[in-house]
A = this chain, B = another copy of it.
Amino acid sequence: MSHYKVERLKINYKTLEEFQKFREYGLQELSMLEDLQANIIENDSNSPFYGIYLDGNLIARASLYRIDAKYDRYFDPPQDYYELWKLEVLPQYRHRGCGTALVEHAKSLGLPIKTNARCRSDEFWKKMGFIPVKYDPVRDRGENPYVWTPPGVSLKE
């Protein structure tokens, strides 16, 4: 579906340096850096991030975090699913299918996916086959949750 190769990113100094180019760089990335410096995690450990390289440079990334079924408040029956966040393509590489490749990769893992569609990205997520949930103020707290479900999975009423 795409000519981009999606790779699971390793936690090492090179990856964390690449992350600094992205807009959504924050406590999660700093925490990974600190853990690396303190030898709490190994160099080249697997991270929750997936990405696309072009000529050796990271140009797009997303994080996929597996949520245990017991915390599921979106799907019926309750089940393990992925939260997808920090989907970001560097500005000069947008509109070439990198975002689509990352989302298709996430879907290929076979579990439902929940994301927070930010900054009026609703059309992108709908194109990716995601649907908006019915907003629940207590659960969603200002988020804009969109979900994708594999066959046989429904949304919680």
Which residues does A use to contact B, with CB under 8 Å? 23-28, 30-31, 48, 63, 65, 83, 85-86, 117-120, 122, 132-135, 137, 140-145
Q: Given A27-B132, A27-B135, 12 other A-B contacts at CB below 8 A?
A: A23-B119, A23-B120, A26-B120, A26-B122, A27-B143, A28-B140, A31-B134, A48-B137, A63-B142, A65-B142, A85-B141, A85-B142
Pick the residue among B24, B30, B48 that contacts A119 (CB under 8 A).
B24
Number of copies: 2
Among residues of B, the one whose C-beta sits closest to the C-beta of A68 is B138
Q: Which residues of B contact A133 (CB under 8 A)?
A: 27
Pick the residue among B26, B83, B134, B142 that contacts A141 (CB under 8 A).
B83
Q: How far is the CA of A92 from the CA of B122 in the complex (A)?
A: 25
12 CB < 8 A contacts A-B: A24-B120, A27-B132, A27-B133, A27-B135, A28-B140, A31-B135, A31-B137, A63-B142, A65-B137, A65-B142, A83-B142, A86-B142
Among residues of B, the one whose C-beta sits closest to the C-beta of A142 is B85
Q: Which residues of B contact A140 (CB under 8 A)?
A: 27-28
Q: How far is the CA of A134 from the CA of B40 in the complex (A)?
A: 15
Q: Which residues of B contact A141 (CB under 8 A)?
A: 65, 83, 85
